Copies of this chain bind each other. A is one copy, B any other.
Amino acid sequence: MNKEALTFEIKKIDKKTGARLGVIHLPHGDVETPVFMPVGTQATVKAMTPEEMKEMVGSYIILSNTYHLFLRPGHELIKEAGGLHKFMNWDRNILTDSGGFQVFSLGDLRKITEEGVEFRSHIDGTKKFLSPEKSMEVQNYLGSDIMMAFDECAPYNATYDYVKKSMQRTTRWAKRCKEYHKQTDKQALFGIVQGGFYKDLRKQSAEDLVDLDFPGYAIGGISVGEPKEEFLDILRYTAPLLPQNKPRYLMGVGTPDYLIEAAIAGIDMCDCVIPTRMARNATALTHYGRLNMLNAKYEHDFTTLDKDCNCYTCKNYTKAYIRHLFKAKEILGARLLSIHNLRFLVNLMENVREAIKQDSLIDFRDEFYSKYGYDK
């Protein structure tokens, strides 16, 4: 039997919550968990260089999107370049999603069959096809350290019947992914638990996927627009259904409170486009809540974004200057807020890990929430 691409160690469990402090050993280095993974959709974390992701943000793993790279520049080209790491000049870990979430988001532009999904490219309208096998081929060509099984993420308002069928197909697809994917010593393949907001379907999905014995598991299909209580309910129900000794990845999360709650629920990995997307929209995440830098009140504000942050941006620039950059539509504005927002979330998870070490994650959360202005 081959050596596996991924091994996972749990170093410590928070006594009051069960939150896990761990290390994922991967082909491109170790990743301490719980971890926030910034998103580099099109083979670049928007507005950032790889060096900045290491030195200014402190990331050891980023996410990239199979759907986008499949369409442009194409996975064959990236293979020809020597793989995604080399293509984009990033020598730490990469997780790729399966393309499922994006193709299902296309609505009328896609058609689902048992075989896979036919869809039209959002770039040029040409017909394309993704299936479990094709998604594996694309991700194999990209050479990511962690690959995701091709799944369907059912919409929030889907009926029980729809979600059940979709979840069962997702399981059959997960099996096909596992059968297709050969280089398990180089790339770890995760299964994705679906089942919408129906607990019995979540349970079934988790059990079926655990039977397939993946090296890690994701929870998909929540944080898709539902109220926070429903999110927390399904999260707290589903996470414990997954094996203790394998990494658990909550997909598409996101905001500081969701990240902290995910860690408390026993999640090890999260990703979201929020920090870079907000940055380009002039919004800063800070310990004291979100700041919209276009707000006139910052015009003469010569203080830094966040007095509790020591990122490059907060060390060197004032709110007044950053506001000027956004008013003047200067690229540096998006850059400075991207650095800050990414560092903010990566640093948040560093603090979460430290709190787990001290068995004080609940205290950490309560203090964070009261500063930020969140309700508990």
Contact = CB atoms under 8 A, between A and B. Distances in A.
Interface of A: 42-44, 46-49, 68, 72-73, 77, 80-82, 87-89, 299-300, 302, 316-318, 320-321, 323-325, 327-328, 330-332, 334-335
Q: Among A44, A80, A323, which residue has the most Cβ atoms of chain B within 10 A?
A: A44
Given A42-B328, A331-B334, 17 more contacts: A42-B324, A42-B325, A43-B324, A43-B328, A44-B332, A46-B331, A47-B331, A47-B335, A81-B320, A81-B321, A82-B302, A87-B320, A87-B321, A87-B324, A88-B321, A89-B317, A89-B321
Q: Among A81, A89, A328, which residue has the most Cβ atoms of chain B within 10 A?
A: A328
Contacts of A323: 73
A188 to B, nearest CB: 26
B299 A73 contact: yes
A39 B370 CA distance: 45
Contact of A335 (B49, B316, B324): B49
A96 to B, nearest CB: 16
Contact of A43 (B88, B321, B334): B321
B72 A324 contact: yes
B43 A302 contact: no
A300 B77 contact: yes
A330 B46 CA distance: 7
A328 B81 contact: no
Number of chain copies forming the complex:
2
A277 to B, nearest CB: 13
A374 to B, nearest CB: 31
A103 to B, nearest CB: 18
Contacts of A89: 316-317, 321
A81 B318 contact: yes
A77 B87 CA distance: 43
Nearest to A43: B324
A294 B12 CA distance: 51
Contacts of A72: 324, 327-328
Contact of A77 (B82, B299, B330): B299
Contacts of A332: 44, 46-49
Nearest to A68: B328
Contacts of A88: 321
Contacts of A320: 73, 77, 81, 87
A77 B72 CA distance: 44
A299 to B, nearest CB: 7
Nearest to A82: B302
